[in-house]
Amino acid sequence: MDKFWSPLVSRLQPYVPGEQPRDQHYIKLNTNENPYPPSPQVITAINRHVDAGLRLYPDPQALSLCEVIAGATGVGVRNVFVGNGSDEVLALAFMAFFSGAEQVNFPDITYSFYPVYCGLFGVKANTIPLEDDFSLDLRRYNGLPGGIIFPNPNAPTGRETGLQAIEALLAENPDTLVIIDEAYVDFGAKSALSLVGRYPNLLVIQTFSKSRSLAGMRVGFAIGDKGLIEALNRVKDSFNSYPLDRLAQSAATAAMQDGIYFNNIRRKIIETRTQTVEGLEGLGFEVVPSQANFVFVRHPQHDAGELYEKLRSAGILVRYFNKPRIDQYLRITIGTDDEMQQLLQRLPVLLAD
Ligand SMILES: Cc1ncc(COP(=O)(O)O)c(C=O)c1O
């Protein structure tokens, strides 16, 4: 601890992102990035904006991008908020809606940034165990004080929670704000966006990082009731008025407009996931049903930590969480067909070792 640190900073337990190795010799299946490049239209849009205009600040509201997102998701432009990655949107949402709350309720196994935000904003994290099969029983959240947040599909399990259960939660708890983090929703799960108009207690957060191959540009967005969006703008404008730079705004706008490319690559990833699951099951792995661009797996005869190390030495990076209930699992991002073939070819050797 440094003598200049505030008590808050001394107490923080920051998020630890997945490794981004500098050398290129790894097959990188550890941070749920998209293995395919962004749409060619995105590259054209960025290039078009690499000019003297960069001396000017970007549009603080990113209005063109918000309009395109509103059009694509069937909501009004005042129902859309954009931020510097969905991590920033999540942080602003915690600040806008949960700081000062009695507690925030989320699953025991979930995105590990949520407890970090609780620490940052001084609110109690109330974790509720997932079922034994890692499904999320939302009835356990009825009547709890404070807000609710969970990803759908969940991370790092990949399991989807059905819309009926989500709607029941929203209807039974009209005074509770429910945030659904849909970072992976485009890989096969049903989005709760269709419920936004009917439930002012719902905020849906999505990202351009996964299904639109733009993790490097840092763009995320929230969709919800106008009052919720206004609150997010109030927090943003009390912190950083220009979270999205000019290139990010034009890149994300072009990505949202190229629906054909988007549908092609997400379909491709879903196909590769199906083949990967078959291959892994053939090698004796148990695979949690996934609607995401990753699979969560364990091998009954092999220690996950050791397997992680062996894969790493063999040039394949996956994610291992040394945490209660999941320390015998590995999270494997779905890469290209070729990358997954290499994984499936190297695994038998490592398992026999
Ligand atoms: C569940 C979940 N939510 C949000 C994010 C953040 O995504 P980004 O900040 O790149 O939009 C991630 C990233 O891995 C995630 O797994």
Length of the chain: 353
Domain-located, residue 4:
no
Distance CA 161, CA 291 (A): 10
CA of 350 to the centre of ligand 1 (A): 30
- In whole angstroms, how large is the CA radius of gyration of the chain? 20
Task: Note whether 83 and 217 are within 8 A (CB).
Answer: no
Are residues 305 and 233 part of one domain? Answer: no
Domain-located, residue 134:
yes
- Ligand 1 atom nearest to CA at 18: 14
Give residue 6's Cα distance to chain centre.
30
CA of 231 to the centre of ligand 1 (A): 21
pLDDT per residue over 227-253, tens digit each?
Answer: 999 999 999 999 999 999 999 999 999
Looking at the structure of the chain, the number of domains it has is 2
Q: What pLDDT, on a 0 to 100 scale, did the predictor assign at position 318?
A: 97
**Would you call 240 helix, strand, or coil by DSSP?**
coil
Q: What pLDDT, on a 0 to 100 scale, did the predictor assign at position 281?
A: 98
**Is pLDDT of 168 > 80?**
yes
Best probe residue, ligand 1, of 82, 207, 213 (max atoms within 8 Å of C-beta)? 207
Are residues 271 and 124 part of one domain? Answer: no
Are residues 271 and 146 part of one domain? Answer: no
Cα torsion angle, 95, 31, 111, 9, sign: negative
Identify the domain boundary among 226, 258, 290: 258
**Stretch 318-329: mean pLDDT:** 96
- Ligand 1 atom nearest to CA at 88: 9
Identify the domain boundary among 220, 241, 258: 258
203-238 burial: b if 16+ Cβ within 10 Å, else e: bbbbbbbbbbbbbebbbbbbbbbeebbebbbebbee
Are residues 113 and 67 part of one domain? Answer: yes
Are residues 160 and 71 part of one domain? Answer: yes
Ligand 1 contact via 87 beta carbon (within 6 Å)? yes
CATH number at residue 53: 3.40.640.10
Ligand 1 contact via 85 beta carbon (within 6 Å)? yes
Are residues 224 and 140 part of one domain? Answer: yes
**Is pLDDT of 56 > 90?**
yes
Whether the predicted model's global pTM rises above the 0.85 cut = yes
Q: Whose CA is nearest to atom 13 of ligand 1?
A: 183
**Is pLDDT of 340 > 90?**
yes
Q: How many helices (H) and strands (E) does the chain have?
A: 11, 13
**Is pLDDT of 23 > 80?**
no
Ligand 1 contact via 215 beta carbon (within 6 Å)? yes
Ligand 1 contact via 220 beta carbon (within 6 Å)? yes
Question: CA 285, 291, 293: angle at the middle one, nearest 5?
Answer: 80
Are residues 207 and 303 part of one domain? Answer: no
Domain-located, residue 3:
no
**Is pLDDT of 24 > 80?**
no
CA of 271 to the centre of ligand 1 (A): 22
Question: Mean pLDDT in the chain?
Answer: 97
Which DSSP string corresponds to 77-111? GGGEEEESHHHHHHHHHIIIIITTSSEEEEESSS-
